[in-house]
Amino acid sequence: MTDKDKNIEQTQSNQEQNLQNDVQNQKVINSTPLVKSEIQLEFEEKEKAYLEALKENETAGLKLRIEKDRGSLFRKIDRWSKRGSRLRREIFVKRQYYYLVAPYTILFFIFTVVPVLMSLVLSFTYFNLLEFPTFIGWENYRALFVDDKVFIIALKNTAILAVITGPVSYIMAFVFAWLINELRPLLRSFMTLVFYAPSISGNVYLVWKLIFSSDNYGYANSILMQMNIIQEPITWLQDPDYIIWILIIVQLWMSLGVSFLSFIAGLQGVNRELYEAGAIDGIKSRWQELWYITLPQMKSQLMFGAVMQITSSLAIATVSINIAGFPSIEYAGHTIITHLMDYGNTRMEMGYASAIATILFLIMIIANLVVRKILRRVGS
Amino acid sequence: MAEDKILIDDDETVAGVELSKEEKKRLKRQEKKLKKFGLKDESKMGKMELFFYKIEKRRRIKKKKRVSRSIVGDISLFLLLCLFGAFSAYPLVYSFCAAFKPLAELFIYPPKLFFQNPTLDNFKDLSMLMEQSMVPFSRYFFNTIWITFAGTVGHVIIASMAAYPLAKHKFPGSTIIFSMVVYSLMFASQVTATPTYIIFSLAGLIDTQLAIIVPAFAYTLGLYLMKQFMQDIPTELIESAKIDGANEFQIYWRIVMPLVKPAWLTLIILLFQQLWNNDGGSFIYSEQLKPLSYSLNQIVAGGVARTGTASAVMLIMMIVPITVFVLSQSQIIETMAHSGMK
């Protein structure tokens, strides 16, 4: 601020000096001795008086103007010094928005932002809810990756589940939404219900437990035995080789959730005229139509769907607990979240659980950001 | 001059005026073109002819839209859809039928999908079981209703209240808040379960129903969908209300809220599904505060002896959210059209 102000001050003082000089010069010019007639002298005198009066007026005006400028300068300095208050002022003017946002933001901070930060801090401590947490550095993380064999299993299972169910469910959601979109309205809403219902129907996925039950009353066993593929029932849910595949099937069955609805909505919003234009431009198959016209228009929905699908595929837990048991046989259905629940809810080792949560948090955020970056490139 | 104009306007021969050779050629070419596309000159038709012609034309345009469709592809994709639809519907149909099967049919070999002689025995057993339970069953029911109602209403009001300024106004901090909400969509709520438990125990909310209701207020997907939906409200409407002297809260309540009805219906359904299936988790210990879903899960966990009642329970748990969804499907789809993320 100061440089500019100094400049302004300097220019103003210069102006004042110039003014004084001018006045002196004028005096010098006027006072040059000359031989004149009386009338002329009188006239000159009058003129001189007049000019002087004028000059006085002018100087007074100038002085006033300078003073005024100085005043505004002071005001400017004042404003500069209260620079921070402009923000305060804006906040004051828009205070009603803050009143509206405040309740949600406070709750959001308490239940989302603070817990994330807390688990980050707690992951470096030993904390059992009774004593005050003690700082132990990277010990929790070291224990997780070096000593804890179960965590490695959980990590592996989560990776398998996420890598298979994530993309497959994403593609499934899109393909079915796309196929449904061509049906007539009544049939369309019926099929939407059929595909969406599994994800909202509570604990109906327990039916899969009956379908894959280990005796020959189970559907899978009875069908396979009738077809003479197997001779005696398979113990689906007790065999570590099968558990994870059953979990994948169940998860896929109930994975057509919010993103599926979002795709349907997005497809309905695609401009119909573009299809006709595309047909004229030489699009021959439905696949070309899908790739060149439909997909680019649905980019934002695709992004949203990806976020929802990735998050849910990395957070498989309740299905595993209810179908494979907790803990499951040979930890075959153990995921990072069940491991987290094990330490957080059962053993009350909050520091250790926080370390697990932090790792999962990082995995989820990184996976999402990477996929978003990839999806952003698809259209271009 | 006048004659020239007539010549230009009428493309057919005007009486007494011979057309030049070139023009005749041009006309013939045009006729060929029209024939090729099956189009006729509409001005030369009678009324009835025109009517049928227009219907024909519309049908042809409809067909034209399907130019990029092969019949084989249509059928095979439809079969694929049916196959996966069956895969998706099978467990639902099974659990629906199982609720009406008598015990003998539940353990039939080979197992059958549909019931042969439906009974309501399972539901009678269920009501018997409920009468015997330690805590009166109406208590569980009331708990679930209360949790669902309070959580849903609170969330819809608070989230839409926050969504309106975030969507329609700019103020210091608005972008930060919204980007944090978007980031929070990227991780599951289980990640923050441990610290949340600590916060609740510090606040003394463990073993109260508030421990389930209050976090539901801060459900992030709800705010996200609401904000995206509100962004398409015309700004002029809000400005004109402001000129009429309404303050922001009045604008939000009187103008914005009625306009975003589909969005808040969607939030209600999303929240309803979550809270309806919530079994209290690790937050509620007292038996008389537990929600319905917990006691029903207990019945399901009863094992083979309770297969009949368990399937009745599953039917109850399943039918409520599905009914709610059926009733509000079009509104939800309308909201989801705005769900896009950049």
CATH of the domain at A319: 1.10.3720.10
In chain B, what residues touch A216 (CB-CB under 8 Å)?
Answer: 109
Residues 168-227 of A with CB under 8 A from B: 172, 176, 179-180, 189, 191-198, 200-208, 210-211, 216-219, 222, 226
Establish if B193 belongs to a structural domain: yes
Please report, for residues A179, B79, B90, B133, the alpha-carbon distance to residue B82 in angstroms, rounded to integers and kept in the order given: 11, 5, 12, 43
Instruction: Identify whether residues A29 and A116 lie together within a single domain.
Output: no
Question: What is chain B's length?
Answer: 342
- E strand or H helix at B198: helix B193-203
Establish if B49 belongs to a structural domain: no
Token pair for A182? 């061509």
A361 has a chain B CB within 8 A of its CB? yes
User: Domain containing B215 — which CATH number?
Assistant: 1.10.3720.10
Q: How many CB atoms lie within 10 A of CB A379?
A: 11
Instruction: Identify whether residues A45 and A106 lie together within a single domain.
Output: no
CA A236 to mean position of chain CA atoms:
41
Range of the domain at B220: 135-336
List, for residues A104-118, the tens digit of each pLDDT value. 999 999 989 999 999
User: CB neighbours of A98 closer than 8 A, spacing ≥ 6?
Assistant: A91, B171
List, for residues A343-353, the tens digit of each pLDDT value. 888 888 888 99
Establish if B140 belongs to a structural domain: yes
Q: Buried b / exposed e across A56-82, counting CB within 10 Å, b at 16+?
A: eeeeeeeeeeeeebeeeeeeeeeeeee
Q: What is the pLDDT at residue A103? A: 93
Q: Minimum mean pLDDT among A179-183, A274-278, B261-265: which range?
A: A274-278
Q: Minimum mean pLDDT among A257-261, B109-113, B274-278: which range?
A: B109-113
Instruction: Identify whether residues A290 and A237 lie together within a single domain.
Output: yes
Establish if A129 belongs to a structural domain: no
Mean pLDDT, residues A1-27:
57
Establish if A181 belongs to a structural domain: yes
DSSP characters over A95-158: HHHHHHHHHHHHHHIIIIIHHHHHHHHHTTEE--SSSPPEE-TTHHHHIIIII-HHHHHHHHHH
Residue B291: pLDDT band by 50, 70, 90 thresholds?
Answer: confident
Closest CB to B188: pick one of A196, A208, A311: A311
Alpha-helical runs (H) found in chain A: 2-30, 38-81, 84-93, 95-108, 114-122, 139-142, 149-180, 185-200, 207-211, 219-226, 240-253, 258-268, 272-280, 286-289, 295-297, 299-314, 318-324, 336-341, 350-378
B69 has a chain A CB within 8 A of its CB? yes
Query: Is 80 exceeded by the pLDDT of residue A27?
Result: no
**In whole angstroms, what is the distance from residue A38 CA to residue B323 CA?**
116
Instruction: Identify whether residues A41 and A85 lie together within a single domain.
Output: yes
φ/ψ of A118, rounded to 5, equals -65, -45
Number of domains, chain A: 3
Query: Is 80 exceeded by the pLDDT of residue B204?
Result: yes
Give the largest Cα separation in chain A, rounded.
146
Establish if A343 belongs to a structural domain: yes
How near does any CA of chain A get to the CA of B39, in Å? Answer: 17
Establish if A352 belongs to a structural domain: yes
Residues 42-81 of A with CB under 8 A from B: none
Establish if B342 belongs to a structural domain: no
List, for residues A119-164, the tens digit of each pLDDT value. 999 999 998 878 888 899 888 999 989 888 999 999 999 999 999 9
Instruction: Identify whether residues A109 and A85 lie together within a single domain.
Output: no
Number of domains, chain B: 1
A85 has a chain B CB within 8 A of its CB? no
Give the largest Cα separation in chain B, rounded.
106
In chain A, what residues touch B181 (CB-CB under 8 Å)?
Answer: 108
Q: For testing the chain A interface, which of B69, B71, B88, B314 should be mutated: the one with the most A CBs within 10 Å?
A: B88
Average model confidence (pLDDT) across chain B = 81
Mean pLDDT, residues B310-332:
85
Establish if B24 belongs to a structural domain: no
Please report, for residues A72, A81, A100, B247, B295, the alpha-carbon distance to residue A86 in angstroms, rounded to integers and kept in the order given: 18, 11, 22, 23, 58
Q: What is the pLDDT at residue B61? A: 56
Please report, for residues A168, A303, A307, A373, the alpha-carbon distance to residue A369 in angstroms, rounded to integers and kept in the order given: 19, 11, 9, 6
Instruction: Identify whether residues A280 and A354 lie together within a single domain.
Output: yes
Query: Is 80 exceeded by the pLDDT of residue A174?
Result: yes
Instruction: Identify whether residues A112 and A144 lie together within a single domain.
Output: no
Instruction: Identify whether residues A155 and A259 lie together within a single domain.
Output: yes
Residues 285-314 of A with CB under 8 A from B: 285-286, 288-289, 299-301, 303-304, 307-308, 310-312, 314
Token pair for B128? 């018997």
Cα-based angle B135, B137, B143 (whole degrees, multiple of 5): 90
Instruction: Identify whether residues A144 and A171 lie together within a single domain.
Output: yes
CA A92 to mean position of chain CA atoms:
27
Instruction: Identify whether residues A98 and A87 lie together within a single domain.
Output: no
List, for residues A47-90, the tens digit of each pLDDT value. 899 999 999 888 888 888 877 776 666 667 766 666 667 777 88
SS (H, E, C) B265-301: HHHHHHHHHHHHCCCCCCCCCCHHHCCHHHHHHHHHC
A93 has a chain B CB within 8 A of its CB? no
Instruction: Give me the residues paired with residue A125 across strands.
Output: A135
Q: What is the pLDDT at residue B6? A: 47
Judged by CB atoms closer than 8 Å, whether chains meet at A276 and B215 is answered as no
Establish if A132 belongs to a structural domain: no
Q: What is the pLDDT at residue A23? A: 56
Contact yes or no for A319/A205 (Cβ under 8 A): yes
Instruction: Identify whether residues A25 and A76 lie together within a single domain.
Output: yes
Token pair for B151? 């959580």
Range of the domain at A110: 94-123
Establish if A278 belongs to a structural domain: yes
Query: Is 50 exceeded by the pLDDT of residue B7?
Result: no
List, for residues B260-284, the tens digit of each pLDDT value. 888 888 888 888 888 888 877 778 8
Residues 176-205 of B with CB under 8 A from A: 177, 180-181, 183-188, 190-199, 201
Place of tokens 């153990």: A334
Instruction: Identify whether residues A350 and A279 lie together within a single domain.
Output: yes
B317 has a chain A CB within 8 A of its CB? yes
Establish if B282 belongs to a structural domain: yes
